[in-house]
Amino acid sequence: MLETLARFPCALDKTPLTPHGFKDARRNLDCSGAPLVGIASGAINGIDCLDIDSPDGVGWYDLNFDALPPTRAHSTKRGLHLIWKHAAGVGCWNGQIAKGVDVKGDGGYFIWWPREG
């Protein structure tokens, strides 16, 4: 799936290694030499991400698991990424759902952890 997404190289601290960050995301961009790969979220790739980090976010996730629709999930170093089809109007919100739960839509990005094994 990574091959079909607009992406860009990132450093180990998750910062973009491009002058304009996620705005430099491109399909067919070779990121094989980069420590990490960032995926632009929102309309550009047609996906949004719910970024759930430990410990608070994982606690929220455990309490709300049954209310969430089924979706693709990736383990991360600190928790979980849940990925859905992009919904118009979804932007980026950090900690507004709960502490440790961030929304990545238009204007954001997240690390593609499956590449890291």
- Burial zone of 49 (CB within 10 Å; 0-12 exposed, 13-18 middle, 19+ buried): buried
Residue 117 has pLDDT above 80, yes or no: no
pLDDT single digits (tens) 19-76 = 999 999 999 999 999 999 999 999 999 999 999 999 999 999 999 999 999 999 999 9
Going from the C-alpha of 55 to that of each of 20, 76, 79, the distances in angstroms are: 31, 13, 8
Q: Do 27 and 105 meet the contact criterion of CB atoms below 8 Å apart?
A: no
Mean pLDDT over the full length of the chain: 95
d(C-alpha 62, C-alpha 42), whole Å: 25
